[in-house]
Every structure is written in C-alpha cells, then in structure tokens.
Amino acid sequence: MYEWWKKAVVYEIYCKSFCDSNGDGIGDLGGVISKLPVLKELGIDCIWFTPIYTSPQVDNGYDVADYQNIHKDYGTLEDLRRLVDLAHGMGIRIIMDMVLNHSSDEHFWFRESRKSKDNPYRNYYIWQPPKADGSEPNNWGNRFRDGNGSAWEFDPQTGEYYLHQYAVKMPDLNWEYEPLRQEIYRMLRWWLDFGIDGFRLDVFTRFKKPAGFPDTDKAPDLLLDRNGYILDSSMCTCVEGIHEFLHEMYTEVFGPSGCFTVGEGTGINAENALSYIAPERGEVSTVYHFTLASRKQPPFTTEKYRRIQQAWADLIPQGGWPVQYLSNHDSARQVSRYGDERYRVPSAKLLAALTLTAPGTPFLYQGEEIGMVDVHYDSIEDHNCCYTVGDYHAMVASGTAPQEALRILAPKSRDNARTPYQWDGSPHAGFTTGKPWLKVNPVYPQINLEADRASEDSIFAFYQKAIRLHREQPAILEGDLRFIWEDHPQLIAYLRRCEKQTVLVIANKSSEPAAAVLPEEIAQKKWTLLLENLPQACTLLEKTEWQPWECCIYEME
C-alpha cells in the first residue's frame, strides 16, 4: 500500500559541485559514479539530479538547451546509462529535474521560434507586440533582475517581445500551445524508457500565465525593482487553469507509467496542496513546498514548526503525502540557518533527526550529512548565484554601499549550498585536482567527510542510524503526528503512533538548556532510547532538562 517513494530517502545531487573526476574543476557523472558506494553506505535509496542536460549554464543547468542530452562538462548519455545501471544494481533509484517552465534561448526550439512570426516553432514561446510607445507589454520584472529588469526582452528580428520570468537567456515556454505540450510528453516518455524512475518538476506552478498579461499593481521594492519593472511572483503562480495542464501531463505520461513526480511547490501550502497531490486529482505524487523552510522567510520557530508540520500531516488521511527537508541547492546550509554553528555537530544531528522522523518522504541535500556550513566570500566576484549577483547590482545601483549589500545578501545566497563538496583535507577539499568552478569553503580542513567519519561524534554515522530508523520503525512511516508541550519556545517534541508502535522524538531546538516536565501520558509509560545526539546521563523518566541542541528518539515498550 505504500508506494516506493513514500518509503524512500531521497538525496539531492548538485552535480557541478559534487565530485570532479577529470580535474577540470567541474563535478561530473564520473565523480558521482565514484561516490555511489558512499551514498549506499549512507543508506539513501533515491537520487535527485538537478539538471544535467546540455546547457549554456546561465543558471547552472536550469537553462536547458537540449532535454535529451547530457551537458558536455558532466559526461555523456553513456555515462548516465552506466550510472543508472550501477545505481539500480545497488537499489538506488534516480529522478531527474525537469525544467518545463522555460528553456535556454540556445534550445533549437527558441532558435527557430525567434526567426520569423510564421516559423513552426513561433508559438513554442510567449511573444507579444510592443505597446504603442514601443515599450514592454506590461510592467513585470524578471526574478534575476537580469537585463534592464523587465520580464520581457525585445527581439529586433521580428519586432516583438518574449517573456522570461528568469534570465534573459531563459525564455518561458508557451504551455497554451498543444504541439509544444505533446513534444514535452514525448521527451518525458523517452526519459522513462531510458530507465529513470521519476521527475522533480521545476517551478511547475508557473506554467500557466494570466490571460492578457495584465500589469501588476504591486508596489515596487525600492531597493531591488529597477526601471519601473516590478517582480510579483503571484502573477504567474498557481494561475487558474494550471490544473488542466498538470492533469493532461499526468494522463499522457505519469499515470500510465506510474512514475514518481515531485513538483517544486512555489505557491503551494497545506490548504491548497490536495488539489495538486490527492491521488484522485491525477496530477503529481507530492510537492516540495516552501511553507516551513524558505529562503525568504525568517527561520522557523518551534511554534511555526508544530503548526506547519501538523497541517501537512493532517493531509495524509485525505490521500496527501508530505515531503521533509530543510535545505537544498537554492538555500543556505541548514546548520547555519536553522542550527547553530557554535553547536555544529549536535545541531546538524538534531535537524537530521527531525527530517528523518517527521511524516513524509525526506529529501536530503548533499553535504548536510557532514554538517557543511555557509561560506563567507569577501567579494561579489566570488559569487555565482543569479539572485545574489542580480540583487547586489540592483541594491548598489539604488545607493546601498557594496559591502553592506554583500552583508545583507550573502546569508540568503544559493552559493552557500553550492560550494564544492568537502571530501577530505587535501587541496580544494578533494573535490578536484584543478581549479574549482566555485571557491571551496575555506573551513574544509576542519569540516570534511573524511574528518567527520574519523570522529567519534560523526554526523555521517548519525545520519546512517537515523536513516535506518526511518526505514525500520513502522511508526515513522505509518504513524500519525501529535505534538506535546505545544507552547514550548525551545522544545519540539512529538509522538508518532501507529498500531504496531509508538515513537517519541524530543529536540531542544535552541542554544540554551530547556526545562520541561513530562506529561502524565508519557511519564506513565516505559521508553527505550533508540537514538541520541548527546551522551545520556539518565533515563527519560528522570529527565527534567535538555541540553542545547539535544535530541533523543525513544520507542514505547
């Protein structure tokens, strides 16, 4: 009754930064192949590859120039063939990131589309004539503050503008046009025939645009919006009609193949999620939502954690299935953001315990299993992330001092997650023998896989144990979710209960000791410790205080 992906632990690989096998400073498929045994030891059972297709790399691969080929720096289709076969042989499934909201302007479709108004590919993209005064069709800004800031780019060849919600070189695809949709479905089937196990759908709530492309009336962000172009995500997110596209794609591809799909859930929350993920809707298996961990909101409090997790858990009896994660390739490092670098080891473990014992499918991001932390570059020149660079230039242009702009933007930069994986203490952290495409975090001599695994306090070893619990304890898969100490500002504590078992998780998500008295219902029972991140001086029933970042998982006898 539980599909494989409900029981899986997914591991996200950002190929460019994972492992370089040929010394060109860029991670590649050969590098991933060489590390499959470590991933197997960790215990994960599914890999999500961020885009590895042919791409000019304006947005590190989210700008796809050929959906059916591998980017030359990463290897070839044959390398991927070998990787998929090896992974499958180890019981590890592979899901591919599919970027279907936009392509690269170097894609064959766009090169054709821009040639003439009657080109067969013209309607693959969204073209609009200029306004009477020659200006853009509306006042939308693009998300990367690219070009002049507008979401429209004028193309002199045909005298029209094309829409790009992201970079100028990332034109939005026109989902209204059926031949494009059919072409997409053919391509997705080709990947399924190749043997991959599912898809992560990039910004899938943005495929539908509002009819007539109306102006936004949102007030401009004075620091960031330039030249009167206003970034308003809501204009193209979850627009009415999106469900028809998703349902059609499901009917054509996902349903018949039974593959796993996880949509990147911009605009989705526990209130509207079922309209995308309830099985009877026939859209996607689950969504990777931003209601708990979001780059744009302050780190969650214990109150918010309880509220959000409960809301998602309550969808399970209605057919919904949540995901769990705290960081990814678009965010800061989770220890730096939600933990405390001064308590790096226990806080990394505590966050792992939460992700791996809360209801739903955990998505781990490369490096969290060794407690990788945010990077502090001295200069914007070291940064690569389009948001960081775009926002930096916009802020400096509107008068912010450069160092101040960097100070404000760096903690949110996606580069924190994208610095090369720290394998060992050798130069460039063992990531490459060449010059890494993005500077390695200088903390690598202290923080790296080899050092971690050699330590008695190993974060990696804790992940192994927590992943094993995730797999073996029925309450973690099947159990409901009930929080205790519902007002506690530091402690996150919950029961996972199913017919076979009750598991209790207690976590002090703070850098101060936390006091609490066990509720009667807990104190009356006997508890066995399954996993802890700090040495235990007493049993649960004797406990009245939890150390900073202490976390314990118990089972009811």
- With CA atoms as reference, report the closest residue to 201 among 374, 48, 359: 48
Site string for Ca ion, 500-539 (x = CB under 5 A): ----------------------------------------
Shortest Å, Cβ 50 to ligand GLC: 7
Whole-angstrom Cα distance, residue 287 to residue 306? Answer: 19
- Annotated catalytic residue within 105, 202, 368, 550: 202
Closest CB 331 distance from ligand GLC, rounded Å? 10
- What is the closest distance, in whole angstroms, from the C-beta atom of residue 27 to Ca ion in the complex? 6
User: Which residues here bind ligand GLC, judged by CB under 6 A?
Assistant: 59, 62, 99, 166, 202-203, 264, 329-330
Least separation in angstroms between residue 19's CB and Ca ion is 9
Under DSSP, the state recorded for 255 is H
Angle, vertex CA 442, rays to CA 436 and CA 448, nearest 5: 85
Contacting residues for 193 by C-beta, under 8 A, at least 6 apart: none
| Contact status: 433 vs Ca ion (CB under 5 A) | no
- Mask: binding to Ca ion, 18-57, rule CB under 5 A, as x and -? --x-x-x-x-x-----------------------------
Are 525 and 505 within 8 A, CB to CB? Answer: no
User: How many residues sit in the footprint of Ca ion (CB under 5 A)?
Assistant: 5
CA nearest neighbour of 92 among 28, 47, 35, 32: 47
Q: For the CA atoms of the chain, what is the radius of gyration?
A: 24
* 13 and 364 Cβ atoms separated by less than 8 Å: no
Q: Of 57 and 302, which has the nearer Cβ to ligand GLC?
A: 57
User: Looking at 264, 283, 330, 374, which residue is catalytic?
Assistant: 264
Residue 202, binding choice from Ca ion, ligand GLC, none, Cβ under 5 to 8 Å by partner class = ligand GLC
Binding partner of residue 166 among Ca ion, ligand GLC, none, CB cut-off 5 to 8 Å per kind:
ligand GLC
Two tokens at 293?
Answer: 């961990």
Our CB check for ligand GLC shows the closer of 225 and 415 to be: 415
For ligand GLC, the closer of residues 361 and 384 by Cβ is: 384
202 is catalytic: yes
| Binding-site string for Ca ion from residue 124 to residue 143, where x marks contact by CB under 5 A and - marks none | --------------------
Q: Which is nearer to Ca ion, 22 or 135 (CB)?
A: 22
Contacted entry of ligand GLC, Ca ion, none for residue 26, CB cut-off 5 to 8 Å set by kind = Ca ion
Q: How far apart are CA 172 and CA 63, in angstroms?
A: 10
Q: How far apart are CA 476 and CA 360, in angstroms?
A: 9
Closest CB to ligand GLC belongs to which residue? 62
Q: How far is the CB of 16 from Ca ion (least distance, A)?
A: 9
List the single partner that 24 binds among ligand GLC, Ca ion, none, CB under 5 to 8 Å by kind.
Answer: Ca ion
Pairing relationship of beta strands 491-498 and 501-508 according to DSSP bridges: antiparallel
Q: At what angle do helices 178-194 and 242-249 cross, to 10 degrees?
A: 40
Q: Is 176 a catalytic residue?
A: no
Place of tokens 């214990």: 302
Task: Name the binder of 160 from Ca ion, ligand GLC, none, CB < 5-8 A by kind.
Answer: none
CB of 106 to ligand GLC, least distance (A): 15
Write the DSSP string, 497-541.
Answer: EETTEEEEEEEE-SSS-EE----HHHHTS-EEEEEESS--SS-GG
What is the pairing mode between strands 198-201 and 93-98? parallel
Give the residue numbers annotated as catalytic, written as ranges. 202, 264
**Contacting residues toward Ca ion, per CB under 5 A:** 20, 22, 24, 26, 28
